[in-house]
Amino acid sequence: MNQASLYQHANQVQRHDAKLILDEFASTLQWRSDGEDALLDVGSGSGNVLMDFVRPLLPKRGQLVGTDISSQMVGYASKHYQGEERTRFQVLDIGCERLPEELSARFDHVTSFYCLHWVQNLKGALGNIYNLLKPEGGDCLLAFLASNPVYEVYKILKRNDKWSTFMQDVEQFISPLHYSVNPGEEFSQLLNEVGFEQHNVEIRNEVFVYEGVRTLKDNVKAICPFLERMPSTLHEEFLDDFVDIVISMNLQQGEKNEDQKFLSPYKLVVAYARKTPEFVNKVFLDPPHHSLFKGIN
């Protein structure tokens, strides 16, 4: 994923989900009483989810760091949002072996939307998220795909001789929870293993409707890692084959024309975790948030 401007203009599902989740969790995030919260976002991409939905929640004196593995994304976001006070963007691979010194143990909050399904070393990433938080406490809000039909489409495309040379490593781009029989339990276990003592994990079954074939193709183009490996003259043919497979999976609605709709049923992991239990206990005493902690581990 390196095409920041394509992504910025074709990320309706991602924006929709991030907004809903942030509306729901805004008051659960444990804001500091001095208004000097430091928040790091993992996998900020082109930056618009971060700036449109996370930034407004942060107190005026808060510090915001957007990070991404892609220097192209970071360059785009830095340029696009230059001049925003107390905000910066920097390259960070959340699956890295060792966190950069200047980021380690510095943050009150870590957020991440639609990124962790790209990271095969999920446990390493969660360990890093834990270590980004200040030693005395802090919380994280994470949302990412457990499964999506796009992964089955990729696997079918890989079997086609036309595309297989570009897709040998397809498994590297499939969510690490896609094959899990109990993704919620598996993710809770990982949160425990890296040290989060209290957390709430939900698996949400969602369906997104793409209105028209062009919308579906643009959304695929914005995130498909295989397109940048092939000549651009093949892109439309690849996307046509993609759509044919979606139709063979019965995910279309209506007649085959430009306005045909496409359904994407997917599972979203939504997790909220706090580093220290006493912070969660404080929330337990606060009635408005009780429902968020149903089934907390």
Ligand X SMILES: C[S@@+](CC[C@H](N)C(=O)[O-])C[C@H]1O[C@@H](n2cnc3c(N)ncnc32)[C@H](O)[C@@H]1O
Ligand Y SMILES: CC(C)=CCC/C(C)=C/CC/C(C)=C/C(=O)O
The angle, 0 to 180 degrees and rounded to 10, between the axes of the packed helices 213-223 and 12-25 is 80
Q: How far apart are CA 198 and CA 269, in angstroms?
A: 16
Q: Is 114 in the site for ligand Y (CB under 6 A)?
A: yes
Q: How far apart are CA 250 and CA 149, in angstroms?
A: 11
Selected binder of ligand Y within 143, 153, 177, 191 (CB under 6 A): 153
Q: Which stretch binds ligand Y (CB under 6 A): 182-190, 217-225, 268-276, 289-297?
A: 217-225
Q: Is 75 in the site for ligand Y (CB under 6 A)?
A: no
In whole angstroms, how far apart are CA 112 and each of 115, 145, 160, 164, 238? Answer: 6, 12, 34, 32, 30
Nearer to ligand X, 11 or 276 (CB): 11
Beta bridge partners of 253: 261
- What is the amino acid identity at position 246? V
Q: Which residue is nearest to ligand X (CB)?
A: 45
Where residue 135 falls (left for φ over 0; alpha for ψ -120 to 50; beta otherwise) is: alpha
Handedness of CA 1, 6, 48, 272 (dihedral sign): negative
Q: How far apart are CA 218 and CA 229, in angstroms?
A: 17
Least distance in Å: CB of 261 to ligand X?
22
Q: How far apart are CA 261 and CA 255, in angstroms?
A: 9
Which residues are at the interface with ligand X (CB under 6 A)?
1, 11, 14, 18, 42-45, 49, 68-70, 73, 92-95, 113-115, 118-119, 223
Nearer to ligand X, 92 or 243 (CB): 92
Q: Which does 139 bind (CB under 5 to 8 A by kind): ligand X, ligand Y, none?
A: none
Selected binder of ligand Y within 12, 260, 264, 297 (CB under 6 A): 264
Q: Is 262 in the site for ligand Y (CB under 6 A)?
A: yes
Q: Is 219 in the site for ligand Y (CB under 6 A)?
A: yes
Q: Which does 262 bind (CB under 5 to 8 A by kind): ligand Y, ligand X, none?
A: ligand Y
Nearer to ligand X, 62 or 95 (CB): 95
Nearer to ligand Y, 99 or 145 (CB): 145
Q: Which does 119 bind (CB under 5 to 8 A by kind): ligand Y, ligand X, none?
A: ligand X
How many residues lie near ligand Y (CB under 6 A)?
14
Least distance in Å: CB of 220 to ligand Y?
5
Burial class from Cβ neighbours inside 10 Å (0-12, 13-18, 19+) for residue 153 reads buried
Least distance in Å: CB of 49 to ligand X?
4
In whole angstroms, how far apart are CA 35 and each of 57, 63, 79, 109, 140? Answer: 11, 10, 27, 13, 17
Q: Is 70 in the site for ligand Y (CB under 6 A)?
A: no
Closest CA to 84 of 65, 105, 107, 57: 65
Q: Which stretch binds ligand Y (CB under 6 A): 29-37, 147-155, 176-184, 233-241?
A: 147-155
How many Å from the N-terminal Cα to the C-terminal Cα in the chain? 34
Q: Is 148 in the site for ligand Y (CB under 6 A)?
A: yes
Half-sphere exposure of 20 (CA within 13 A, CB side): 11
Q: Is 77 in the site for ligand Y (CB under 6 A)?
A: no
Binding site for ligand Y (CB under 6 A): 14, 114, 145, 148-150, 153, 219-220, 223, 246, 251, 262, 264
